[in-house]
Structure 1
Amino acid sequence: MSSNPFRQARFLTSAHRIDQLPRDEGVEVAFAGRSNAGKSSALNAICDQQSLARTSKTPGRTQLLNVFPIGEDGQARLIDLPGYGYAKVPEAMRDHWRGVIDAYLRTRRSLCGLVLVMDARHPLKDFDRQMLGFAAASGRESHCLLTKADKLSRGEAARTLQQVRKELDLLAHGATAQLFSSLARSGLDEARTRVGDWLGLGSG
């Protein structure tokens, strides 16, 4: 994208339950991922903002659905879903998050796509597969960001991407994947184009 509409993203609210989200209209894209996959860093990099989404050295800080509208009318939104898979979170809270994420993916009419953030060194864990299954079952498109790609050699990264794409064909036909690094700022244009197309923001 020659100009980045995601720079207009702003924090609106945090929701503990689905009924606390903005009215179910317009279009929104959800970001999901394991607690240590770099989801907040990816959101900040895509939006070219340093602290839009909270990053922390302690995984599991995203404990609510955080809403980031883009532009004044709020009809295009990014939704940051609770990070999952972090062992130190109490079981009751994990169950609550799982229920909220499941209900959100099944019932939210304005949801048009899911960005699944995975550490390129540890892709497609059990919950990643579950999320892809949820999205496919509800007719949502999915795009996988293989983050921290800078930690892999070029050859390793290419092989990982090829393997993930092969598995996606079996798990969730139509799902796409790319390499991404918020640190090296690589893969940003591809990610912005994909999410921008879903939200109707254009691609440049």
Structure 2
Amino acid sequence: MNFNNVTYERSFGTSEQLEPSTAPEIAFAGRSNVGKSSLLNKLFNRKGLAKVSQTPGKTATINFFDGSGVKFVDLPGYGYAKVSKTEKARWSELIEGYFNQEREFALVVSLIDIRHDPSDLDVNMVNFLREADLPFVVALTKADKLSRQQQMKQKAAIKRQLALDSDTLMVVTSSAKGDGMDELRGLIRDAVA
């Protein structure tokens, strides 16, 4: 799989618009300000493929990217306060509607900011993935903001807070420095193999 050849495909504003799943899908889920777009751009070695904004909550659609027979799915961020209740409800419907469909879920990458304790919404997402028996990994973002020692301490604390078993993989990542990208690419390759 060539991560450098990933291209933008389509965006959907409601779950009813989603086309049937025709290839393995790697979905990315996380809070609005977790750095999802930056991580995707670093993963694909592209600057502007996923739209990055200084304002959290800009991803308001489900965005599909094509990568040689694998679909990468950028889900709207959850938990951002400065949008209307109607818009929050639409985002929630989008995310739930996506996961409630018959799709080829190869892997869900659940993004959590390593600098903070997981929010209730992060915990709910991980619990949902576990209960739905979906294959997932946790990607801890923004690791460049902490020292190596702080990273290891936070990783252990987050693992406890999410009640993850020893089989659940966690990757410490930094979109700024590229940390964890090769490991994440390897996990994605394994998931679609």
The alignment status of 1:93 with 2:50, answered yes or no, reads no
Counterpart mapping for 1:115-154 below 5 A? 115-154=109-148
Cα shift readout 1:93-118 (whole Å, capped 9, x = no counterpart): 11121122112123242122210111
Normalised to the residue count of structure 1, the TM-score between the two structures is: 0.88
Task: Determine the C-alpha separation between the residues in 2 that align with 1:40 and 1:99.
Answer: 21
Q: Which runs of 5+ in 1 are unaligned?
A: none
The alignment status of 1:193 with 2:186, answered yes or no, reads yes
Counterpart mapping for 1:17-56 below 5 A? 17-56=14-53
Task: Determine the C-alpha separation between the residues in 1 that align with 2:107 and 2:175.
Answer: 21
The equivalent of 1:182 in structure 2 is 175
Deviation, structure 1 residue 173? 7.3
Deviation, structure 1 residue 189? 0.6
Contact in 2 for aligned 1:133/1:172 (Cα 8 Å): no
- Counterpart of 2:9 (choices 5, 8, 12) is 12
The equivalent of 1:82 in structure 2 is 76
SS state of the match for residue 89, structure 2?
A: helix
Task: Determine the C-alpha separation between the residues in 2 that align with 1:88 and 1:33.
Answer: 16
Deviation, structure 1 residue 18? 2.2
Contact in 1 for aligned 2:140/2:173 (Cα 8 Å): yes
Deviation, structure 1 residue 48? 0.7
Q: CA RMSD in A?
A: 1.7
Q: Provide the aligned length of Structure 1 versus Structure 2.
A: 193
Task: Determine the C-alpha separation between the residues in 2 that align with 1:123 and 1:15.
Answer: 31
After TM superposition, the structure 1 stretch with the greater mean CA deviation from structure 2, 23-32 or 39-48, is 23-32
Deviation, structure 1 residue 183? 0.4
Cα shift readout 1:42-68 (whole Å, capped 9, x = no counterpart): 000011111110000111000000000
Deviation, structure 1 residue 172? 6.9
Matched AA of 1:185: G
CA distance 1:157–1:173, change in 2 (3 Å)? closer
SS state of the match for residue 130, structure 1?
A: helix
After TM superposition, the structure 1 stretch with the greater mean CA deviation from structure 2, 6-15 or 17-26, is 17-26
Contact in 2 for aligned 1:113/1:142 (Cα 8 Å): yes
Normalised to the residue count of structure 2, the TM-score between the two structures is: 0.93
Task: Determine the C-alpha separation between the residues in 2 that align with 1:142 and 1:7.
Answer: 23
